[in-house]
Amino acid sequence: MEFLTHWLAFTPVFALPLIVASLGLIVNERAGLLNLGAEGIMLCGALVGVAAFLEFDGNAALGFIFAILTGTFLGFCFGFFVVVLRTNQVLTGITFVFLGAGLTGLIGIPWVNKAFSAIDPIHIPYLTGIPVIGRFFFGQDFIVYITIGLSILVWRFLYHTRTGLRMRAVGENPQAADAAGINVGGYRLLAASIGGAFIGLAGGYLSLVVAKIFVLDMTQGRGWIAVALVIFSRWRPWRAVLGGLLFGGIEALIPRLQATGVPIPQYFLAMAPYAVTLVVLIYAAVQIRAGQDAPRALGVPYVREDRK
Amino acid sequence: MQALSLSFLRSRRLTIEVRQKIHLVPRIAIIVGAVLFGLGICIAILVSRDVDVASIYDEFIVFTFLNAYGVSTVVVHSTPLVLVGLAAAMAFRVNYWNIGIEGQLFMGVIGCTVIAYYDIGPEFLRLPLMFIFSLLFGALWALPSALLKLRLNINEVISTLLLNYIAYYIVLNQVFGPWRDPKDNFPHSPAYDDFERLPKVGWEDVHYGIVGVALAFAFVWWVIERSRFGIQSRFVSANPRMVVAIGLPLSVITLISALSSGALAGMAGFTIAAATEGRLTFQLAGGYGFSGIVIAFLSGNRPLIVVVVAFLMGGLYVAGESMKVFYSLPDALVGLFQAIIVLSVTASEFFARYRLRMAHYERV
């Protein structure tokens, strides 16, 4: 019973970086941008978040703000390369991963491996004390509740605003969008920046809340898992939340299982998130006809002069 | 003509025109200029880390390319780099983004360590067996992603990358578990026996891996530049729909390319394990996956240029390693420099493809 309570209580913490990053990636991909650099942008967000937190005497809000700004900037840079300079999206994305790893290694030295005390979860009297589900629903930190708001916001934005509609149009059929007078490049740059902001926040949360420390390469493939999660979620925000909780649950399970002494070799446990991601990708591909829900111009550059 | 969003003056706008053709000389000039621009940023980074320009010149040019011992270490470092470069080129030519080279390399090493650890086969056959098993394991690790791509249309970028992590944890499990060296109890496999190691050619540390590399290069060159398969696979990147329309086996071409890519990556692992390291360690694949991508991109997937770029990249590795030691720079330094150069070159292609022009419009 205690096992279940703990597991449920920690699931949102592990799920959150994945959910936030995949929300950002959904915004990216809905506009037709395949940002494979999420892993690198997350890492930069994680570093800058911790750096700001430590430099401003433990101001968590400033830490998150700086993580978001870093993500926005890097997302914009990615957008600039693929939209304005028309570079290959896959290559540019992969390169951003290594750019992020290299930059954090280079400038992160003063802040690496410096542990700090946790940001306290909220305690609501009585509610948090409800057995099993109390801590899951009411015992989280403020960013978890902000994330719930954010996912509703992303959904509202994409499906219920004019800007969101145009952004999706740019990702579905840029030729038609262009003909309708929509600035394709502008919307894609906007999407890249918004997406980057989310990814940066995910990174900041990872270092500031989940790990309470910045370690080199600490994202450990979470950026890639988020990319896979977007496919699993069929580019829908609310499904990304569910998928994120599923993955977070698995990740939260690993330390619990180790604590109970289940005889599974630790490296096979560590492998689990990646193996599960692969299985989920296969499941998603078998379930729905592959690519059916993907934005039709995903990863396809729009160059008006190249029109056939 | 698409107006860029730089419409700072209403009557004059910066516009982009497609160049109908670009001659070889300006094209090469643009690429060289971009590489130099990227290197300039790298040098600026080093200078900002209190490395003076004279020692940058020493490390990157004098100690690597201008003296015999330096050149020999560069050759040793570029041996696996040529192989991962060829591996990436094989896959990228057919628009198959094999990001899993690092995992395939690791599995190649596991393949040859299985032979060495369990003493399979007579002594004189040991090394050939290790070689074959490294190719097999590398190719096998490339197989699932290729099948998933062809059967279920699952993005190979993500699946190959996930398999990297899984391969890495398999290696960790082996070196911290069953294969941990009982002699020193460090997390690596026991050292290979002498007859399980690639002999040296007699010039510093250069080993017979370079013969293997030469053969691999010759084979890949023939396949890509001369064989019927090479021509067919060229169609795949140019126009996959036409390939299907004229009845070429698109999925077979993709599958063969992906598997050979994995085998070459496994072979790169073999040269590292059997020659340089002499055992399985969990650090030995570091950075080779991205290096392969970078080399293949910079060489435009042409085997001959892959060799040249890999040799230069070997210099970057050698210089980067001593830089890390002497100036306490991060491990990710080489990757960072590679990323900067790739971004610089890929951005420069814009200027090769398009011409920027100030266009004058009438005010409406």
CATH code of B84's domain: 1.10.3470
Highest-confidence segment of A4-18, A250-264, B218-232: B218-232
Angstrom distance (rounded) from CA A65 to CA A69: 6
Pairwise pLDDT comparison (A10 vs A97), residue with the higher score: A97
Q: Which of A81, A106, A108 sits opposite B343 (nearest CB)?
A: A81
What pLDDT digit, counting tens, does each position of A260-281 carry? 777 778 888 888 889 999 998 8
Contact A94 B162 (CB under 8 A): no
**A116 token code pair:** 């700090």
Q: Is A271 on the interface with B (CB under 8 A)?
A: yes
Residue A106 has pLDDT above 70, yes or no: yes
- Which residues make beta-bridge pairs with B200? B207
Contact assessment for residue A71 and residue A48, using Cβ atoms and an 8 Å cutoff: no
Report the residue of chain A nearest B46, measured CA to CA. A106
Task: Check residue A291 and give its pLDDT.
Answer: 53
Mean pLDDT of chain A: 87
Q: Which of A95, A99, A282 sits opposite B154 (nearest CB)?
A: A282
- The whole-angstrom distance between B63's CA and the closest CA on chain A is 24
- The whole-angstrom distance between A43's CA and the closest CA on chain B is 13
| Residues of chain B neighbouring A275 (CB-CB closer than 8 A) | 162, 166
Architecture in CATH for domain A2-113+127-295: Orthogonal Bundle (1.10)
Among all chains, which residue has been given the structure tokens 């919307």? A187
The answer, as to whether pTM is greater than 0.95, is: no
**A81 token code pair:** 């390369």
| Residues of chain A neighbouring B158 (CB-CB closer than 8 A) | 224, 227-228, 231, 277, 281
Angstrom distance (rounded) from CA B18 to CA B351: 10
Angstrom distance (rounded) from CA B115 to CA B97: 30
Task: Check residue A134 and give its pLDDT.
Answer: 64
Contact B330 A106 (CB under 8 A): yes
Interface test with A, best of B143, B153, B155, B171 (most A CBs within 10 A): B155
For chain B, the domain total comes to: 1
Angstrom distance (rounded) from CA A68 to CA A195: 10
Q: Which of A94, A186, A278 sits opposite B99 (nearest CB)?
A: A94
Average pLDDT rounded to a whole number, residues A124-133? 63
Contact B173 A265 (CB under 8 A): yes
- The whole-angstrom distance between A201's CA and the closest CA on chain B is 22
Task: Check residue B1 and give its pLDDT.
Answer: 40
Q: How far apart are the first and last CA of chain B?
A: 18
| B184 CB burial (10 A radius; 0-12, 13-18, 19+) | exposed
Task: Check residue B133 and give its pLDDT.
Answer: 96
**Confidence at A122, pLDDT banded by 50, 70, 90:** low
| B140 CB burial (10 A radius; 0-12, 13-18, 19+) | middle
**B43 token code pair:** 């040098």
Pairwise pLDDT comparison (A150 vs A39), residue with the higher score: A39
- Is B139 within a domain? yes
Interface test with A, best of B51, B165, B173, B288 (most A CBs within 10 A): B165
Q: Which amino acid is at B280?
A: L
Angstrom distance (rounded) from CA B150 to CA B254: 8
Angstrom distance (rounded) from CA A302 to CA A307: 9
- Is B243 within a domain? yes
Average pLDDT rounded to a whole number, residues A6-19? 85
Q: Is A249 on the interface with B (CB under 8 A)?
A: no
Average pLDDT rounded to a whole number, residues A152-157? 90
| B299 CB burial (10 A radius; 0-12, 13-18, 19+) | buried
- Which structural domain range is residue B147 located in? 73-328
Residue ranges, chain B, pLDDT below 50: 1-3, 6-9
Angstrom distance (rounded) from CA B123 to CA B141: 27
| Residues of chain B neighbouring A267 (CB-CB closer than 8 A) | 169-170, 172-173, 176-177
Stated length of chain A: 308
Q: Which helix (H) or strand (E) holds B207?
A: strand B206-207
Report the residue of chain B nearest A289, measured CA to CA. B152
What pLDDT digit, counting tens, does each position of A157-174 carry? 999 999 999 999 999 999
Task: Check residue A232 and give its pLDDT.
Answer: 87
Q: Which of A84, A95, A183 sits opposite B342 (nearest CB)?
A: A95
Q: Which of A216, A281, A305 sits opposite B159 (nearest CB)?
A: A281
Q: Is A214 on the interface with B (CB under 8 A)?
A: no
Angstrom distance (rounded) from CA B306 to CA B84: 10
Angstrom distance (rounded) from CA A117 to CA A108: 19
- Is B14 within a domain? no
Report the residue of chain B nearest A108, measured CA to CA. B330
Rounded to two decimals, the ipTM of the complex is: 0.90
Instruction: Read off φ and ψ for residue B4, nearest 5 degrees.
Output: -75, 160
- Is B214 within a domain? yes
- Helix, strand or coil for residue B18? strand
